[in-house]
Chains A and B, each alone.
Chain A
Amino acid sequence: MDRTQLLAALEGLLYVAGDEGFTKEELANILEISSKEVEELVEAYIELCTDEVRGITVINTAGHYRMATKKEYIDLFRKVYTGNKKRLSTAALEVIAIVAYKQPITRAEIEDIRGTNSENVIRKLVAMSFIKEVGRLDTPGKPILYGTTNDFLDYFNLSSLDELPELADDVEKEVDEEKDLFDSMTKIKITE
Chain B
Amino acid sequence: MTGPDLVAADTVERAAATAGQPQPYAELGLKQDEYEKILAILGRRPTAAELALYSVMWSEHCSYKSSKVHLRQFAEKAPPSGALLAGIGHNAGVVDIGQGYAVTFKIESHNHPSYVEPHQGAATGVGGIVRDILAMGARPIAVMDALRFGPAAAPDTARVLPGVVSGISFYGNCLGLPNIGGELDFDACYAGNPLVNALCVGVMQHGDLQVAEAHGPGNKVILFGSATGPDGVGGASVLASATFGDASAESAAKRPSVQVGDPFTEKLLIECCLELFAGGLVTGIQDLGAAGVACATTELAAAGTGGMAVRLDEVPLRDATLGPPEILMSESQERMMAVVEPGRVAEFLAVCAKWDVRAAVVGEVTGTGRLVMTWHGEPVVDIPAATAADGPVYTRPLARPAAQDELAASDPAALPRPAGGAGLRADLLALLASPGLADKSWVTDQYDRYVRGDTVLATPEDAGLIRVDEATGLGIALATDGNGRYCRLDPYLGTQLALGEAYRNVAATGARPLAVTNCLNFGSPEDPAVMWQFAEAVRGLADGCAVLGVPVTGGNVSFYNQTGTTPIHPTPVIGVLGVHDDVRRRPGIGFPAGAGPAALVLLGRTEPEFGGSAWAYVCHGHLGGRPPMPDLEAERRLAGLLAAAAAAGLLAAAHDLSEGGLAVALAESCLRGGVGCTVQLSGQLSGQLSGSLAGDPFTALFSESAGRCVVALQPGADEAFASLCAEYEVPAQNIGATGGGSLTVTDCFSVPLDELGAGHVRTLPELFG
Are A and B genuine complex partners?
no
Binding site for A on B (CB under 8 A): none
B-binding residues in A (CB < 8 A)? none
